[in-house]
Amino acid sequence: MNIKVAMVLTLVGIMTLCLVVTKPAANHAFAAATIQKTCNLTLKADPGSGSLATGESAEQKLSGTLTCGFTALEGATITFSGLPPGMAAGAFVTDSSGNFQGPSFLVHPGDSFSPRAHYAGDSGHAGAAAGLIIKMSTK
């Protein structure tokens, strides 16, 4: 009977020791896999699509908002593509409300552009993108 009790205690001791030794390693492995919050990026153009008389032009102002996990993300860098040829858009930073003011450019009758805003993401936030189409017809 004493041998059985000693054997059970030895097995319980070994299993407990295994848990104690492997727990820090498991915690470290899970800590290395950072969970990224899902992000949502919006983009709008003011005044957007419409019609212009021949010889007229209109300034389009791009803006939007970045939220991650339903919270505004401040200090995020937003870049652009799909702008008029030769236009260097630069990078724009979100404010404390997650809002950004993007580039502005002139459009003329017959112009069509498909600007896209991009957020690359970081260790805690997933990347996001948004786009729209601006078409100007002739009055």
pLDDT at 37 over 80: yes
This prediction's pTM:
0.72
SS3 state at 18: helix
Among 52, 77, 58, 57, which residue's Cα sits nearest to residue 66? Answer: 77
Per-residue pLDDT of 113-137, as tens digits, reads: 999 999 999 989 999 999 999 999 9
CA pair distance 81, 88, nearest whole angstrom: 9
Per-residue pLDDT of 87-107, as tens digits, reads: 877 899 999 999 999 999 999
